[in-house]
């Protein structure tokens, strides 16, 4: 499967997916604003782009595809970097086409983490806000965007109708595979999400990189922050155990910081960096294998 064609990589703007999330899940505190204050993509090419993104995503995110990507990327042999080198690397994904905001990836991460910090949460939660999108470096290793961002969901069992654009799963071969197309598929009731394979993307990749270094709630946030079918719709509770249900309260707590802190005011990176250097040093090794 080729990764470089426009057909297989329909989104030119990494922010398209997150902006679409805000359309689906608007910030309750903003509901008093006039409609024209929101970015409205109902009649724009952006909605068509996101729709095409999910058409490709839902077609190719199969159980076998996830296994293939795990084998390819979980050897962690692509690049060795410090966290700060990884951030600089990620900053090459700055998008010049977004008309509303001109922030590189570092500034977006700082907006998320500083909002968490301002609300007095534990330092590991602040660090999680700072780290949560680092897995998008997959784009710089040649991965198409549909295999990096987008809503995540379990593979190996029936695709929920609550997943965005569920009709596109009709083209996914797992939908007609009797092994995978039942409610539980290859899994057992309440087996726990650690036994469930999720669609491939930046969430799972970063979780696997950091799983030995952060507290468990932080790892749940990183691994499942794009799993909207569960933390917004409750569609896969039948696969979750008691620990999952408890940890998902942290995922839900994180979600508003991820979605609703993007603003055009640039964080003062120079002033903030010493704090984050100490925070990173507290939890992470000097060199990380990607």
Taking each helix axis from N to C end, the angle separating 216-224 and 123-131, rounded to the nearest 10 degrees, works out to: 30
- Identify whether the C-beta of residue 254 lies closer than 8 Å to the C-beta of residue 177: no
8 inside domain? no
Domains in the chain: how many in total?
1
5 inside domain? no
250 inside domain? yes
pLDDT of residue 259: 80
> Which stretches of the chain drop beneath a pLDDT of 70?
1-23, 25-46, 94-103, 262-264
* Number of C-beta neighbours around residue 124 at 10 A: 16
Q: How far apart are CA 54 and CA 41, in angstroms?
A: 16
pLDDT tens for 119-156 read 999 999 999 999 999 999 999 999 999 999 999 999 99
251 inside domain? yes
202 inside domain? yes
Q: Which domain holds residue 86?
A: 15-289
10 inside domain? no
Tokens of 243: 């620990």
- Identify whether the C-beta of residue 288 lies closer than 8 Å to the C-beta of residue 81: yes
C-alpha distances (whole Å) from 22 to each of 39, 76, 164, 173, 220 are 9, 33, 13, 30, 22
Q: How far apart are CA 18 and CA 131, in angstroms?
A: 17
The pTM of this model reads 0.85
Per-residue b/e over 212-228, b at no fewer than 16 CB within 10 Å?
eebeebbbbbbbbbbbb
261 inside domain? yes
């Amino acid at each position: 499967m080729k990764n470089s064609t426009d057909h297989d990589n329909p989104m030119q703007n990494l922010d398209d997916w997150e902006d679409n999330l805000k359309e689906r899940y608007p910030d309750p505190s903003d509901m008093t604003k006039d409609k024209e204050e929101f970015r409205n993509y109902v009649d724009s090419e952006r909605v068509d782009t996101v729709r095409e993104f999910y058409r490709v995503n839902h077609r190719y995110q199969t159980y076998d595809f996830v296994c293939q990507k795990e084998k390819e990327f979980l050897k962690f042999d692509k690049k060795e970097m410090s966290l700060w080198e990884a951030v600089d690397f990620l900053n090459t994904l700055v998008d010049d086409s977004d008309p509303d905001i001109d922030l590189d990836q570092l500034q977006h991460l700082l907006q998320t983490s500083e909002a968490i910090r301002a609300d007095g949460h534990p330092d590991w939660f602040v660090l999680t806000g700072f780290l949560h999108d680092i897995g998008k470096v997959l784009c710089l290793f040649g991965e198409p965007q549909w295999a990096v961002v987008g809503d995540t969901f379990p593979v190996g069992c029936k695709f929920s109708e609550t997943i965005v654009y569920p009709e596109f799963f009709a083209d996914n071969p797992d939908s007609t595979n009797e092994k995978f197309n039942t409610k539980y598929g290859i899994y057992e009731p309440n087996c726990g999400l650690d036994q469930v394979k999720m669609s491939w993307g930046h969430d799972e990749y970063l979780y696997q990189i950091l799983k030995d270094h952060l507290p468990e709630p932080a790892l749940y946030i990183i691994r499942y922050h794009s799993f909207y079918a569960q933390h917004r719709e409750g569609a896969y509770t039948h696969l979750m155990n008691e620990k999952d249900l408890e940890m998902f309260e942290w995922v839900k707590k994180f979600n508003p910081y991820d979605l609703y802190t993007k603003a055009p005011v640039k964080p003062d990176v120079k002033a903030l960096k010493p704090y984050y250097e100490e925070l990173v040093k507290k939890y992470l090794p000097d060199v990380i294998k990607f």
